[in-house]
Amino acid sequence: MKLTVLISSCGRRVELLEAFRSDARALGIDVRVLGSDVDIETSAAARRADKAFFVPKINAPEFLPQLLALCQSERIDLIIPTIDPGIMAFSESRDRFAAVGTNVVVSEHAVARIANNKLRTYEFLTNAGLPTPRTLTIEDARSDSTRCSFPLIAKPISGSGSVGIRQIQHAVELYDPALDQGYLVQEFIKGTEFTVNLYFDLAQGRLRCAIPHKRIEVRAGEVAKGVTMRHPKLEQLADELGAKLAGARGCICFQAIEDAAGAVHIIEINARFGGGFPLAHRAGARFTAWLMEETLGLPSTIGNDWRENVLMTRYDAAVFLND
């Protein structure tokens, strides 16, 4: 039994690549894990992949034609998008990939639009009755700063990886020219940060697993130290989100904050594998195995029986080139 998986924009995703390999061995699958990136010479995951391919930037007009041709020539069964701009592009083109025999693990376009835009995320969560910090566009905050409760967090509306995020202490800071029309401001909630990794089955889009972990330490927006934990409020929130997020497929994660009073608030949704997925995988939430089982029609082992108190502490590892 053979399977070819492509990790798109593979970058540093060595742990994700190895999760597919280890789960394939356990399932008796002969897997090829390929990587694509704009910089395959210095991408660690590209160097660890069975084969790596240069592709243009996702917003380039030649990106999709080249990737479709690659899927045909390499007989790729699964594509795993890993960055937010790619989620939008792939969600719009799922049928084109399906026509060449490739399944893209991505949610429907409506879900991608919500996750890719923090203002739409806020509107979706508010309309769904799910708890989230109050959010305004930078223009609305400037027009009436009395609507704001300082301090605030300023974020790019379509940003990712904590790039461009800053704290606003006073109303005068709203007029910083660096905060252009692409920004919003969000109520600052002090508390404990969590990520909840979710798995929606590919056939029906049902939420099948929700595994929270506490974000003990974060670097560049990605968890560096974390621990899995059973958290009834977060797991209930995951169930409610899963019921409202029609069209979700595969791997999604959301970030939340628990305030001093014990209330939880969703602050972000990512319609892709989260950077902290290796912790979930180690704890028994084997999303990569489940994707391969569903793709190949194998008996499903999807479940929510993962281990709590699994602690991850990351370190930097080197991949040496031309050594």
- Mention every residue, 6+ apart, whose C-beta is less than 8 A from residue 190: 259, 260
Delimit the domains of the chain by residue range. Answer: 2-106, 112-116+190-313, 134-187
> How much is the pTM?
0.94
User: Does 116 score more than 70 pLDDT?
Assistant: yes
- Helices and strands, counts by H and E, the chain: 11, 15
SS3 277: helix
Which residues are within 8 A (CB) of 52 and not within 5 positions of it... i.e. 6 or more apart? 10, 34, 35, 36, 37, 40, 43, 46
Cβ count near 305 (within 10 Å)? 8
- pLDDT tens across 71-80, in order? 999 999 999 9
**Alpha-carbon span 211 to 110, nearest angstrom:** 24
Band (147; pLDDT cuts 50, 70, 90): confident
Identify the residue with better confidence: 207 or 321: 207
Confidence of residue 44 (pLDDT cuts 50, 70, 90): very high
DSSP letter at 123 equals: H
- Using CA atoms, how far apart are residues 237 and 96, in angstroms rounded to an integer? 34
φ and ψ at residue 88, rounded to 5 degrees: -65, -50
The yes or no reply on domain 2-106 and CATH 3.40.50.20 is yes
Q: Look at domain 112-116+190-313 and name its CATH class.
A: alpha beta
Compare 160 and 77 and report the one with higher pLDDT: 77
For 284-306, how does the pLDDT look when each residue is reduced to its tens digit (9 = 90+)?
Answer: 999 999 999 999 999 999 999 99
Confidence bin at 161 (pLDDT 50/70/90)? low
| 273 CB-near residues (< 8 Å, 6+ apart) | 13, 16, 80, 82, 251, 253, 287
Contacts of 257 (CB under 8 A, 6+ apart): 133, 189, 191, 192, 193, 194, 264, 265, 267
- Strands 103-104 and 78-80, by their bridges, are parallel
For the segment(s) 134-187, the CATH number from 3.10.450.50, 3.20.20.70, 3.30.1490.20, 3.50.50.60 is 3.30.1490.20
- HEC per residue, 53-105: EECCCCCCCCHHHHHHHHHHHHCCCEEECCCHHHHHHHHHCHHHHHCCCCEEC
- 318: pLDDT strictly greater than 90: no
Give the whole-angstrom CA distance, residue 145 versus residue 136: 10
Q: Tell me the pairing of strands 103-104 and 152-156.
A: unpaired
